């Protein structure tokens, strides 16, 4: 669909709509002589060395200039909103925040939540991996950048502002606040689509650089059954109109700072505090500024992901500055590496401060990608400097604007240090892995490692393609690394899988039913209730109200009975479908629509679930305080006997930490702190408590239920809870496990379940005390004494075994029989598989065959180098006669027979082979 985007300003102030002679796209300009749209590659950068903004700005100054302009605007004052975390806890469909509008998707845009202000202004740190291979090269691409934005949410009947006002606000900011020249600004028409939404859009271009995008989001992805007269096609996808129309703008903070400074690259303008120290550390000679500027001008016109060939760019730049490609490469490559390191480590600082833990999955994978790519760049520069030192430079520079960096500094740096150690270990192990793979390829006659194998090495073993290339070339095997390698693997990691649960009851059959009244929220201690049957579908009964808790949020469903006509019918499962609660019963035929039934909950089961659920929140508060604010719930499950809590954490939890966590949690229990819950509008809850609300994952709905433990923990949670922590009873941590890289599992028990665990331990201690005939307090020293005595006895046994083995070898040698030129030893002996292997190894000689079978059925065979058969052939013959299985190498084989009574027959049969 083509949008012709006229605005009030264009019509009133003499703007001209033209078509770009290079790309053919329409754009608006005040300059009647302009023929190109102003967008690379149609135009080169025209501000390098000649800043396009009269005054030089720092990041902080430009950010404040923007926020203040919109906040204090006379006609359209905007509410200033603080940045959101780069890890989007409020949604589960994306890994990282890549644009300011993502802060408000899906809840604000769908109308399920009010925006924090309307209109609003924000400067949102955004992370994108799509351009990672361009970072350091093009001069303008970043993994992390701040998207400054003003948003307006035009709900039905509540307009704020739209296209006319948006264009005027942008133009006013650029020309009146930043003093940019009006005639050099172009508005290029380019429809936008992303994240399931779309709309017409303007790219605002100035002297060869895109400085803002103004999107008028008014469409959403069309469902399959959408009326055809409503469907529009944008960029090949089908959309239908949205009820809410959203002004979605994005102004590049770093790009505007760069425009004001006119430095060769944006990295020099905004990352100098890291770039300059790195240049000194690496001892890089000062490059001719002309080379750097020309490189940036031309690099700005290329996208490595699209071009796929950095070599071509190098040739063009070299030609322009009059040097060879090799000379250019030598001069420019160290700068590109430093720029990339500076950008990647800044992205890491934000990611780790906002709770990302490096790992092999999701956002953790992307953090590890940045760490390992940065280490590789440092290595290419010949620098031994720890990556944590570079991250520390970011924290030092940025903590005044982002105080959370200073609060998290120790944890951030420790995570980076641990990752560096892991990577060093990976490289040590990885070299052998690559060599083995190369050997396999050579056998097949393949002389180049395929790209998919490079991806496997990286994803499964953490080996960067550069490392693989280094090893492979020493072995005479080629490696061609695609220029967009890291974009490729990041794109794959960013794909989120949509999981669909089993459909228990067709939602269409429930659509006309009212929301079930949730009695378990009205009174969590309600054990019995009366309710009316609304519908019976297969094995499921739907009531107008229920005290049975449906499965959700890690809490199991309640069980119990429904009493109908004086008869108890068991309830075996309870689920929630939309806002209707359904009960699975053993005899659905007993229920008729309209009848009143009496429900009784299995209270012993429910109260233990409540203890464990409130206990989970108590424990979570203790974990965060002992281990750090990076700790985040990664999953939980409750049963009556135990509960588990999975958390993000970058190392194993020590015994000392566990003791401290357990003590702290029990202290909160003994203090009997109040537990309260309330329903709050989503935005109100987020502004009041922050995004730590979403420990248990994304919670749907306009209003969310907030459970609060007084001065300890606040979470959005739909579970049933106790009114005070004292009712949880004792909390006992049973054990911890590392369930995956970056995730620790804590298994614990509360209340009666904890007491039962202590009783089990007491029984074990008592049994051990009885066996060793000492009181429990003497157990450690007695066990240690017995262990030391056992070790000494074992040494003695080993000595005796060696002596017996020596005597047995001597005895077997004496039983050797000569069969022609072959020496043959075949006997049934005592011993384990290991003993037999050792014996045949010791008895092996060039012209000798040894067959030993133990009384337990194990066998071992050795064949000398001058004997014309192989040991594994003899193993097959043995198992053919006596059953069982075995195998081995040419000289030694082993196995186990099924029928030990045939041992002598086996020996005679093998002996006859050499007669």
Distance (Å) of CA 826 to CA 373, 834, 891, 897, 904 = 60, 17, 16, 15, 9
CB neighbourhood size of 610 (10 A): 24
Give the best-scoring range by mean pLDDT among 151-165, 439-453, 454-468.
151-165
Task: Report the alpha-carbon angle 397-403-406, nearest 5.
Answer: 70
Give the per-residue pLDDT at 249.
Answer: 97
Q: Is the peptide bond before 580 cis (omega within 30 degrees of 0)?
A: no
**C-alpha of 378 from chain center:** 25
Cα torsion 271, 272, 278, 283: sign: positive
Distance (Å) of CA 611 to CA 405, 614, 756, 761 = 36, 5, 14, 21
Please name the residue that has the structure tokens 């270990």: 425
CATH of domain 607-761: 3.30.980.10
Residue 663: pLDDT over 70? yes
Give the per-residue pLDDT at 494.
Answer: 62
Residue 650: pLDDT over 70? yes
Percent of the chain with pLDDT over 90: 59
Pairing label, strands 822-829, 848-854: parallel
pLDDT band, residue 448 (cuts 50/70/90): confident
Residue 84: pLDDT over 90? yes
Residue 274: pLDDT over 80? yes
Give the per-residue pLDDT at 332.
Answer: 87
Give the per-residue pLDDT at 495.
Answer: 62
Contact indicator for 695, 355 with CB cutoff of 8 Å = no
Q: DSSP letter string over 740-795?
A: ETTEEEEEEEEHHHHHHHHHHHHHHHHHHHHHHTS-GGGHHHHHHHHHHHHHHHHH
Q: Which residues make beta-bridge pairs with 148? A: 123, 251
Kindly report which listed range (8-22, 275-289, 547-561, 629-643) carries the lowest average pLDDT score: 275-289
Query: Nearest Cα to 618, choosing from 728, 504, 694?
Result: 728
User: Residue 106: which residues within 8 A CB-CB, separation 6 or more?
Assistant: 91, 112
Query: Nearest Cα to 639, choosing from 605, 614, 662?
Result: 605
The verdict on whether residue 78 carries a ligand-binding annotation is: no
Residue 473: pLDDT over 80? no
Contact indicator for 205, 192 with CB cutoff of 8 Å = no
The verdict on whether residue 613 carries a ligand-binding annotation is: yes
Q: How far apart are CA 477 and CA 470, in angstroms?
A: 10
Q: DSSP letter string over 480-545?
A: ---TTHHHHHHHHHH--PPP----SS-GGGTTTSPPPEEHHHH-TT--EEEEEEEEEETTEEEESE
Kindly report which listed range (190-204, 289-303, 694-708) carries the lowest average pLDDT score: 289-303
Region of 773 on the Ramachandran plot (φ > 0 left; ψ -120 to 50 alpha; else beta)? left
Mean pLDDT for all residues in the chain? 90
Q: Where are the alpha helices (DSSP H) in 777-855?
A: 779-814, 833-843
Please name the residue that has the structure tokens 């073993």: 461
- The pLDDT of 689-702, averaged and rounded, is 87
Give the per-residue pLDDT at 297.
Answer: 77
Give the per-residue pLDDT at 811.
Answer: 85
Q: Is the peptide bond before 106 cis (omega within 30 degrees of 0)?
A: yes
User: Residue 724: which residues within 8 A CB-CB, separation 6 or more?
Assistant: 672, 673, 674, 675
Q: Which residues make beta-bridge pairs with 216? A: 247
SS3 of 655-682: HHHHHHHHHHHHHHHHCCCEEEEEEEEH
Q: How far apart are CA 513 and CA 48, in angstroms?
A: 66
Span 232-250, pLDDT tens digits: 888 788 899 998 999 999 9
Give the per-residue pLDDT at 476.
Answer: 77
User: Residue 784: which residues within 8 A CB-CB, separation 6 or more?
Assistant: none
Query: Nearest Cα to 332, choosing from 262, 280, 263, 265?
Result: 265
Residue 497: pLDDT over 60? no
Q: Which residues make beta-bridge pairs with 674? A: 724
- The pLDDT of 706-722, averaged and rounded, is 95
Residue 499: pLDDT over 60? no
- The pLDDT of 417-431, averaged and rounded, is 86
Span 359-412, pLDDT tens digits: 888 899 899 999 999 999 999 999 999 999 999 999 999 999 999 999 999 999
Q: How far apart are CA 344 and CA 355, in angstroms?
A: 17
SS3 of 196-229: CEEECEEEEEECCEEEEEEEEEEEEECCCCCCHH
Q: DSSP letter string over 50-84?
A: S-SSSS---HHHHHHHHHHHHHT-SSS--EE-PPP
Give the per-residue pLDDT at 8.
Answer: 94
- The pLDDT of 763-785, averaged and rounded, is 86
Q: Which residues make beta-bridge pairs with 158? A: 155
- Specify the CATH architecture of the domain 509-515+527-601: Beta Barrel (2.40)
DSSP label of 158: B
Given CATH 3.30.930.10, say whether it is the number of domain 53-263: yes
Distance (Å) of CA 228 to CA 222, 223, 231, 241 = 10, 11, 5, 12
Please name the residue that has the structure tokens 């599992």: 745
The verdict on whether residue 617 carries a ligand-binding annotation is: yes
Q: Identify which has the larger pLDDT, 496 or 867.
A: 867
Distance (Å) of CA 668 to CA 435, 459, 480, 620, 728 = 55, 43, 59, 12, 10
644, containing H or E segment: strand 643-648
Residue 157: exposure state from Cβ atoms within 10 A (0-12, 13-18, ≥19): exposed
Give the per-residue pLDDT at 501.
Answer: 47
Q: How far apart are CA 299 and CA 131, in angstroms?
A: 13
Q: Show me where the domains of the chain are located.
A: 53-263, 274-494, 509-515+527-601, 607-761, 816-912
pLDDT band, residue 110 (cuts 50/70/90): confident
DSSP label of 10: H
Span 842-895, pLDDT tens digits: 899 999 999 999 988 999 999 998 888 889 889 988 998 999 888 888 899 999
SS3 727: helix
Contact indicator for 23, 272 with CB cutoff of 8 Å = no
Span 792-815, pLDDT tens digits: 888 888 788 777 778 888 888 888
Give the per-residue pLDDT at 307.
Answer: 45
Q: What values do phi and psi take at 677, rounded to 5?
A: -140, 145
Span 293-320, pLDDT tens digits: 887 777 766 655 544 456 777 787 888 8
Give the per-residue pLDDT at 693.
Answer: 92
Region of 174 on the Ramachandran plot (φ > 0 left; ψ -120 to 50 alpha; else beta)? alpha
- Specify the CATH architecture of the domain 816-912: Roll (3.10)
Residue 763: pLDDT over 60? yes
Contact indicator for 329, 314 with CB cutoff of 8 Å = yes
Distance (Å) of CA 175 to CA 54, 166, 168 = 11, 14, 10
Q: How far apart are CA 132 and CA 466, in angstroms?
A: 16
DSSP label of 697: -
Give the per-residue pLDDT at 500.
Answer: 47
Residue 529: pLDDT over 60? yes
Residue 116, token pair as written in the block: 């924090």
Residue 503, token pair as written in the block: 């459909």
Please name the residue that has the structure tokens 């009848």: 595
Q: What values do phi and psi take at 826, rounded to 5?
A: -140, 120
Query: Nearest Cα to 178, choosing from 242, 99, 251?
Result: 251
Residue 44 half-sphere exposure toward CB, CA atoms < 13 A: 11
Residue 612: exposure state from Cβ atoms within 10 A (0-12, 13-18, ≥19): buried
pLDDT band, residue 534 (cuts 50/70/90): very high
Radius of gyration of the chain (CA): 36
Give the per-residue pLDDT at 310.
Answer: 67
Report the largest interatomic distance among the alpha carbons of the chain, rounded to a whole angstrom: 115
SS3 436: helix
Contact indicator for 585, 561 with CB cutoff of 8 Å = no
Residue 221: pLDDT over 60? yes
Q: How far apart are CA 901 and CA 213, in angstroms?
A: 86
Give the best-scoring range by mean pLDDT among 195-199, 501-505, 672-676, 812-816.
672-676
Give the per-residue pLDDT at 111.
Answer: 84
Give the per-residue pLDDT at 498.
Answer: 47
Give the per-residue pLDDT at 6.
Answer: 86
Residue 588: pLDDT over 90? yes
Residue 745 half-sphere exposure toward CB, CA atoms < 13 A: 13
Residue 190, token pair as written in the block: 């380019």
DSSP label of 145: E
């Amino acid at each position: 669909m083509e949008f012709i985007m006229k605005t009030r300003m264009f019509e009133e102030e003499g703007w001209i709509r033209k078509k770009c002679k290079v790309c053919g796209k329409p754009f608006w300009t005040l300059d009647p002589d302009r023929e190109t749209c102003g967008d690379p590659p149609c135009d080169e950068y025209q501000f390098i060395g000649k800043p396009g903004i009269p005054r030089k700005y720092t990041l902080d100054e430009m950010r404040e200039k923007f926020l203040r302009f919109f906040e204090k605007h006379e006609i359209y004052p905007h509410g200033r909103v603080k940045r959101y975390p780069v890890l989007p806890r409020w949604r589960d469909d994306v890994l990282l925040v890549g644009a300011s509008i993502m802060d408000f998707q899906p809840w604000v845009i769908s109308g399920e939540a009010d925006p924090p202000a309307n209109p609003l202004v924000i400067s949102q740190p955004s992370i994108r991996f799509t351009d990672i291979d361009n970072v350091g090269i093009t001069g303008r691409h970043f993994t992390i950048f701040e998207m400054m934005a003003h948003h307006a949410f035009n709900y039905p009947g509540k307009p704020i502002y739209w296209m006319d006002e948006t264009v005027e606000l942008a133009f006013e900011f650029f020309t009146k606040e930043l003093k940019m020249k009006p005639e050099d600004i172009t508005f290029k028409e380019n429809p936008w689509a992303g994240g399931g939404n779309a709309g017409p859009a303007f790219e605002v271009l100035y002297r060869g650089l895109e400085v803002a995008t103004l999107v008028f989001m008014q469409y959403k992805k069309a469902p399959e059954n959408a009326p055809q007269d409503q469907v529009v096609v944008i960029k090949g996808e089908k959309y239908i109109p949205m009820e809410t129309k959203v002004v979605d703008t994005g102004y590049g903070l770093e790009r505007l700072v760069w425009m004001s400074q006119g430095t060769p690259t944006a990295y020099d303008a905004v990352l100098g505090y890291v770039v300059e120290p790195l240049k000194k550390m690496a001892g890089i000679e000062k490059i001719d500024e002309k080379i750097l500027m020309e490189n940036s001008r031309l690099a700005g016109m290329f996208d490595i992901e699209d071009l796929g060939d950095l070599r071509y760019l190098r040739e063009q730049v070299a030609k322009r500055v009059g040097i060879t490609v090799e000379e250019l490469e030598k001069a420019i490559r160290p700068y590109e590496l430093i720029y990339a390191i500076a950008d990647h480590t800044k992205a890491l600082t934000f990611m780790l401060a906002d709770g990302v833990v490096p790992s092999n999955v999701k956002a953790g994978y992307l953090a590890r990608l940045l760490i390992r790519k940065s280490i590789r760049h440092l290595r290419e520069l010949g620098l031994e400097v720890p990556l944590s030192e570079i991250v520390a430079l970011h924290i030092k520079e940025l903590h005044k604007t982002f105080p959370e960096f200073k609060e998290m500094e120790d944890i951030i740096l420790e995570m980076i240090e641990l990752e560096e150690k892991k990577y060093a270990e990976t490289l040590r192990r990885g070299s052998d892995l690559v060599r083995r793979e190369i050997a396999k390829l050579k056998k097949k006659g393949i002389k180049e490692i395929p790209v998919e194998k490079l991806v496997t090495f990286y994803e499964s073993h953490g080996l960067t393609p550069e490392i693989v290339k280094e090893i492979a070339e020493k072995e005479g095997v080629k490696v061609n690394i695609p220029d967009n390698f890291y974009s490729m693997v990041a794109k794959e990691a960013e794909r989120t899988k949509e999981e669909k649960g089993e459909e228990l009851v067709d939602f269409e059959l429930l659509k006309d039913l009212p929301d079930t009244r949730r009695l378990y929220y009205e009174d969590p201690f309600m054990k019995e209730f009366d309710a009316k049957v609304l519908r019976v579908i297969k094995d499921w009964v739907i009531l107008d109200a229920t005290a049975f808790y449906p499965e959700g949020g890690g809490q199991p469903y309640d069980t119990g009975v429904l009493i109908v006509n004086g008869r108890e019918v068991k309830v075996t499962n309870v689920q929630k479908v939309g806002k209707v609660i359904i009960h699975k019963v053993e005899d659905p035929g007993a229920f008729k629509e309209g009848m009143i039934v009496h429900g009784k909950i299995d209270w012993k089961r429910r109260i233990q679930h409540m203890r464990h659920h409130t206990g989970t929140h108590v424990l979570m508060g203790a974990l965060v305080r002992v281990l750090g604010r990076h700790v985040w719930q990664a999953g939980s499950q409750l049963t009556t006997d135990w509960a588990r809590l999975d958390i993000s954490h970058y190392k194993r939890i020590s015994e000392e930490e566990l003791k401290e966590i357990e003590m702290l949690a029990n202290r909160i229990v003994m203090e009997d702190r109040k537990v309260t819950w309330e329903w709050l509008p989503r935005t109100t809850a987020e502004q009041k408590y922050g995004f730590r609300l979403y420990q248990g994952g994304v919670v749907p709905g306009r209003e969310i239920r907030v459970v609060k433990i007084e001065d300890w923990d606040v979470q959005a949670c739909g579970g049933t809870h106790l009114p005070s922590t004292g009712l949880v009873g004792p909390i006992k941590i049973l054990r911890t496990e590392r369930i995956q890289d970056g995730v620790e599992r804590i298994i614990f028990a509360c209340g009666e379940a904890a007491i039962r665990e202590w009783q089990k331990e007491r029984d074990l201690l008592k049994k051990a005390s009885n066996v060793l005939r000492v009181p429990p307090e003497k157990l450690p020293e007695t066990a240690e004494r017995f262990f030391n005595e056992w070790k000494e006895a074992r040494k003695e046994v080993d000595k005796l075994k060696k002596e017996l083995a020596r005597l047995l070898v001597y005895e077997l040698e004496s039983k050797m029989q000569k069969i022609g030129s072959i020496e043959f030893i075949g006997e049934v002996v005592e011993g384990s598989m290991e003993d037999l292997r050792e014996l045949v190894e010791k008895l092996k000689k060039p012209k000798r065959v040894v067959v030993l079978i133990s009384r337990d059925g194990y066998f071992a065979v050795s064949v000398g180098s001058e004997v014309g058969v192989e040991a594994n052939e003899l193993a097959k013959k043995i198992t053919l006669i006596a059953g069982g299985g075995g195998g081995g190498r040419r000289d030694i084989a082993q196995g186990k027979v099924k029928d030990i009574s045939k041992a002598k027959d086996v020996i005679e049969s093998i002996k006859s082979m050499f007669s």
